[in-house]
Structure 1
Amino acid sequence: MSGSITEVVVAVVGIGGTLASALLTQLSANRVRLREVEKADEQRTRELDRAAHEAGLEARRACYAGLNAAALDYVTVLDNFSYAVEAGRVTDDLRAELYQARRAHRSVHADAQMLLSASVMVAADRVGKSLGQVYRMLKRLDGGTPEAGDDIATARQGMATLWDHLWVMRRDMRRDLGLGDDA
């Protein structure tokens, strides 16, 4: 009987080894597939993060371009208005153009506040404050109700300061977008 027990044991061990080999091969294949899926998920996550970063960068770029353009338009209209005030030739059309430029800048600035970085926000607020100061002075001069110190020369000094603030805002926008310091 010992011979038949040995044969049975050898057969069981042989079958067990064959089954274990198949099971180990399947487990190994599953681990390889799991690693491949994990790598694919990591790659997909990296691609989604990169796409989100690029979309955010593009949104800020468009926002910054719009804010800069609106500020430049407003400055141009303020400058034209200052010359008209100086010459005593302010028309209702010029007043309407100034009002529209002011409203457009305020609207773009309000929208931009949701996207601006902290440094750009500080610079944009300085620009907005300077625009408002020059605007109010010119409106008082146009309306014949100037305050002490209100005159065209002071308004033009305000415009010069405004150009400095615009340069800083543009520089900060470029830095935030990774375009360097050169403005």
Structure 2
Amino acid sequence: MSSSTSALVIALVGIAGTLASALLTQRSANNSKIRELERADRQRAEDRAYQAEQAAIEARRTCYVALNIAARLYQTALTNFLVAIRAGTVTDEIRTDVDDMRRDHRARHAEAQMLVPDAVLTAAGAVNSHLSNLYGILRRLDLGEPEPGETIEVAAVMRVETWDLLSAMRTVMRHDLGIAP
């Protein structure tokens, strides 16, 4: 092989190496960029999932607070109603207060039915049912038309039992939020 042919072959190999090096560098850079974009996409998806989870927890927490407050205010209004019936001093203001608290509690309970997990809904349903039964007894006692076995003493026992149901509901709510063990 002549020196000019050798020089030409060496030059062609050098040019091919330079071109191949540029192509390989570009391909490597493209692969790195693709991996970086995929990592960023995964991170954004994880961030969105985390934010959605946090928003759901916050919505449940807000619902739990509203439901707990409404149930306790309804319980307090029923207690006032019970005391007034016992003393014979029921007023339209007391009746209105009970009806307002009842409506508010029902609204919060209906809201919870669309948002909370079954365990919380079961506990909230027990509270709702118990408060509704207590309200019915007190209302019939107020009207002077109690059903057999409905007395002020039965209503007083039910009122006390409500606190255990409220406590159980609160415990289930706190557990769902990860606050209680």
Whether TM exceeds 0.5 here: the answer is yes
Q: For 1:90, what is the secondary structure of its paired residue?
A: coil
- Residue 30 of structure 1: how far off its partner (Å): 1.0
Measured on the aligned residues, the alpha-carbon RMSD in Å equals 1.3
**Map of 1:66-105 to 2, 5 A cutoff?**
66-105=66-105
Q: Distance in 1 between matches of 2:120 and 2:93?
A: 33
- Residue 26 of structure 1: how far off its partner (Å): 0.6
Match of 1:115 in 2: 115
Match of 1:20 in 2: 20
Q: Which runs of 4+ in 1 moved over 6 A?
A: none
Q: For 1:116, what is the secondary structure of its paired residue?
A: coil
What is the letter of the counterpart of residue 102 of structure 1?
Answer: R
Aligned length: 181
What is the letter of the counterpart of residue 52 of structure 2?
Answer: A
- Residue 2 of structure 1: how far off its partner (Å): 4.8
More deviation in 14-23 or 28-37?
A: 28-37
What is the letter of the counterpart of residue 104 of structure 1?
Answer: D
Q: Does 1:176 align with 2:176?
A: yes
More deviation in 1-10 or 135-144?
A: 1-10
Q: Does 1:8 align with 2:8?
A: yes
Q: Does 1:58 align with 2:58?
A: yes
More deviation in 69-78 or 82-91?
A: 82-91
Q: For 2:146, what is the secondary structure of its paired residue?
A: coil
Q: Distance in 1 between matches of 2:5 and 2:105?
A: 96
Q: Does 1:45 align with 2:42?
A: no
Q: Distance in 2 between matches of 1:33 and 1:116?
A: 43
Q: Does 1:34 align with 2:34?
A: yes
Q: Distance in 1 between matches of 2:119 and 2:161?
A: 18
- Residue 21 of structure 1: how far off its partner (Å): 0.2
Q: For 1:145, what is the secondary structure of its paired residue?
A: coil
Match of 1:142 in 2: 142
- Residue 3 of structure 1: how far off its partner (Å): 4.3
- Residue 102 of structure 1: how far off its partner (Å): 0.3
Gaps of at least 5 residues in structure 1 are none
What is the letter of the counterpart of residue 38 of structure 2?
Answer: E
Q: Distance in 2 between matches of 1:64 and 1:117?
A: 11
- Residue 7 of structure 1: how far off its partner (Å): 3.2
Q: Identity of counterpart residues, as a percentage?
A: 49
Q: Distance in 1 between matches of 2:150 and 2:89?
A: 18
Q: Distance in 1 between matches of 2:101 and 2:41?
A: 49
